[in-house]
Amino acid sequence: MNYKFRLISLLTIDSIIVLISIFLAHFFLNPFNRTVDLMLVLSSIILLISHHILCFYFHLYQRIWKYANIDELISLCKVVILSILITAASQLIFFNDLYERGLFLTLILHLVFLCGIRLFWRYIQLRRDDVIRESSIKRKATLILGAGVSGRSISAELQKTDSVLNPVVFLDDNPKLKNLEINGIPIVGNLNDLEAVVEHYNIKHIIIAIPSLKGEQLQKIIQKSKRVCKNVQIIPKYREFATGKLSYSKFRNVSIEDLLGRDSVVLDNDSISKKIKGKKILVTGAGGSIGSELCRQIIKFEPSILVLLDHSEYNIYQILRELEKMKGCTQLKVEILSVENRERVQLMMEKHQPNIIFHAAAYKHVPLMEENIYSAVSTNILGTKNVIDAADKVSVSSFVLISTDKAVSPSNIMGMSKRIAELIVNEKNNNSSTKYSSVRFGNVLGSSGSVVPLFKEQIKKGGPVTVTHPDMSRYFMTIPEAAQLVIQAASFSKGGETFVLDMGQPVKIVDLAKQLINLSGFSEDEIEITYTGIRVGEKLHEELFYEFEEKYSKVHPKINAFTNEQYISDIRYKLQNNLIYSEEELERLLQTILNNVESKNTARMVSN
């Protein structure tokens, strides 16, 4: 239907409605005297003309009534009321009289017919679309958990789009909502009725639409939903919904991160902004999983320059492409080099003169470093020393080392190298105007070397999923959470602190494997879990603190901080000729260095 034909049709229909309304009102009020006088004729002409003029004024003839809402109905009411008032005024002007009862009944009939015909047309159009959609798409019966604002929005979204999901029922814990309907969809009970409702309505898909849920509550609902239905999705975080950006395209499948049961991070954005906005920031290891997420988070706070340093050309290219879309006024600079190259690092530092450095460049894979001790020493220790010294020479304001829980009582090469890096940071902070600090945390889900990608690959192949030991546990957090808290910790740094992120409770690796199997739509009977034994250098359980570090202060709900006097001097002198040692000799040398530090600390604790 083209616009011209549509306009003529609406003008004709509305004209008939207006004339029927005023004449029908007159005949109802005068059943035994149906004389049509001059006042009635003139009133009908004025009502008709004013109606059309007002409809054009309020753009009612341009509205698509298939998508009509309350705004259209309000505009219709305005047109009807104003046109009646204009007609009443004309009666007073031309006849010095007012036909009150006739005008009032005309208003009622006018409004009922006008709204009724449009709503009827909307109903017909929507029913036709439903028939077409049902015939062309095999839709899945969908249960929406949560009948609040987000649940109502989702049901409306699914009903008006060509989604394969057909919302048929709500569940909500608010007892006042039971047996009511939203958008024609019944609310049949609370979340305790989940299993029975899924079976009764033959539910094939569940959407969790309770954005306020977090932590253990969300974890329990997800696990309960996954037990009764393979396809479970969750809406975005509350702030995305609150900004009006919620749409079906943004629903996501439940992930292993949701099952960790961790509360969302609340940042002190003011303190971070003061630290970063307008400053020159350098991120080493910017192409890695942690480094790249640091860049994504940092750029939101509008630094003047963000320097990305990594030895991998491909990794830098990938993150650079992503950051180009969100950089705003921030200039992006790239340095492709290894932190092992002391001279290049110094030249790079003099070139960019950064204000803040986040040092994430490191080798982190425990079994690989057991077999590559020279790389661990060259990058994790000497490379860190190179960046630390270069930062001091150009008077960088703040330096933050990204450390690991494996640096606590290390039992492997990687842990020893990161512990020594922490001690180098402590030593340099005592002899420099630069504020040096470390941030220590455990495993991050999805990072390079994480068990999650490995488990997903094994599940995809049909198993088995390999776990080293049934009792092995680790601290876990998500990559964005870790990066956000690292930046937050940096904003608190006064120099000399070791910040330890609150990792929550440790998670058994076998439990993580089971949850991933269930999330992938399989049962533990279908995907076998096998135990391969603890690898060289691995511990059953990781620690976040040494005993002498446990007197810490909480600078943020999820960040603990402490200072200590442990440090290492002349590490470069001790290790710069590390290639002259055999692997066994080099490992013993690292252990000796750490033992000497520990013995000094023990003596200090005894004297205190």
Active site residues: 406
Strand bridging mode 398-404 / 435-441:
parallel
* CA–CA separation, 357 and 151 (whole Å): 44
- Tell me if 429 sits within 8 A of 437, measured CB to CB: yes
- Tell me if 562 sits within 8 A of 552, measured CB to CB: yes
- Tell me if 467 sits within 8 A of 529, measured CB to CB: yes
* CA–CA separation, 22 and 44 (whole Å): 7
Separation in Å, CA 91 to CA 17, 97, 98, 509: 21, 6, 6, 85
* CA–CA separation, 235 and 241 (whole Å): 8
Q: What is the CA radius of gyration of the chain?
A: 35
222: which 2 tokens?
């997800």
- Tell me if 79 sits within 8 A of 50, measured CB to CB: no
Render 356-417 in DSSP notation, one character per residue: EEEE------HHHHHS-HHHIIIIIIIIHHHHHHHHHHTT-SEEEEEEEGGGSS--SHHHHH
Percentages helix, strand, coil for the chain (3-state, rounded to 5) are: 55, 15, 30
Helix, coil or strand: residue 46 = helix
